[in-house]
Structure 1
């Protein structure tokens, strides 16, 4: 069911046949933050988690908006944003809640309210499911997203920490403990 997300933009559910396009959006999202990395492994993430239970929505410019700006009707509308969600469990309370796998707006469509409108759309959708919270993970360097989430009332609940392990350091640690 297609509906207006905000003036000039439509939102509609994605389908399982759009795995490759979802993967392209996901890879582009990561490349913007980490341009030197290869994100081939994201195909495994999409393959493992994309299902009927993990809804996907696409955003396109409405045809009326395109006709006004270009004086022509395009053959196929361009997808300008997507939102992909699943479920997670709150590790403190044990409650199941909506979890955002990906919210991506193409760079040339940012600062138009699309991300904010997608978040509001998702909050309404999650409420209808009976969810009482929405979770997400955002990279610390993604300041535009962090700013949006803070403005919408999202708060930091935890910090995800990692340590890169050097090859052979485990063996060195064992050898060091014997001496």
Structure 2
């Protein structure tokens, strides 16, 4: 069952974000993610939780249902989450949905929850008039890449990084003088 998250669930969202990154990078510290949640989590960036199908409450619907209105925190621990923000297509200038996080706890993976959440957010985005959904995925996250490829997502750009050190800065500044 899926339910819309509340702004009161900031700490739970943070825990899910930290779990996501710790799964991929187990020896890293992700305390900085608190700033990401603080900066971007708002009523304009919806959050959905998936809970096990125990009881049929009035504030819960199946994943195939239309998007839900905001509802209060439920007492059952979630098994997955989906947090979505907004982005601007730099080519055409259109606003579109951007997936900040899609996470399914390991013991509930490979049961179709990720696929169902992606279809759910696609329906939500179409209903609000979006023409595309964007997301970032680490190249090493093969299960996520497989899911997105199976759902028709395509690489539009490649995000490149170069790690800099203070040592490089000193050498570069010496050359400028």
After TM superposition, the score normalised by the length of structure 2 is 0.86
Aligned counterpart, 1:47 = 38
> Structure 1 regions of 5+ residues with no counterpart?
1-9, 66-75
Aligned counterpart, 1:30 = 21
Q: Distance in 1 between matches of 2:173 and 2:19?
A: 41
Aligned counterpart, 1:98 = 97
Q: Distance in 1 between matches of 2:99 and 2:53?
A: 25
- Secondary structure of the 1:79 match is coil
**Higher RCO (CA 8 Å, separation ≥ 6 residues):** 2
1:156 aligns with 2:147: no
Superposition RMSD in Å? 1.6
> Structure 2 regions of 5+ residues with no counterpart?
57-74
Q: Distance in 2 between matches of 1:59 and 1:139?
A: 23
Report the number of matched residues: 160
Q: Distance in 1 between matches of 2:77 and 2:53?
A: 10
Displacement of 1:177 in angstroms is: 5.3
Q: Distance in 2 between matches of 1:174 and 1:46?
A: 35
Q: Distance in 1 between matches of 2:166 and 2:40?
A: 30
Displacement of 1:141 in angstroms is: 0.6
Q: Which has the higher strand share?
A: 1
1:21 aligns with 2:12: yes
Cα deviation code 1:145-173 (max 9, x no counterpart) = 00000000000011111111121312212
- Secondary structure of the 1:135 match is strand
Aligned counterpart, 1:115 = 114
Aligned counterpart, 2:137 = 138
From the CA coordinates, give the structure whose radius of gyration is larger. Answer: 1
After TM superposition, the score normalised by the length of structure 1 is 0.85
- Secondary structure of the 2:87 match is strand
